[in-house]
Structure 1
Amino acid sequence: MSNVLVSRQFEAPNEAALLALAKQFAQHLSHPTVTHLRGELGAGKTTFTRGVLRGLGHQGAVKSPTYTLVEPYELAGWRLHHFDLYRLGDAEELEFMGIREYFAEDTINFIEWPQRGQGVLPDPDVVIDIAFSGEGRVVTMAALSNVGKQIVQRLC
Structure 2
Amino acid sequence: MGFYCKKKAPASKGAELKKKLDRVFSQYIRLRDMLPGTTLFRCISCNKVYPIGEADCGHYINRKHMSTRFSEVNCHAQCRQCNRFDEGNMSGYRLGLVRMYGETRVAYLEAQKYETRKYGDYEYEELIRHYKKEIARMLEERGEKITVLSKKIGVKI
TM-score range, shorter chain: under 0.3
Report the TM-score when normalising by structure 1: 0.27
Larger Rg: 2
Per residue, is there more helix in 1 or in 2?
A: 2
Which fold has the larger relative contact order, with Cα–Cα distance below 8 Å and residues 6 or more apart in sequence?
A: 1
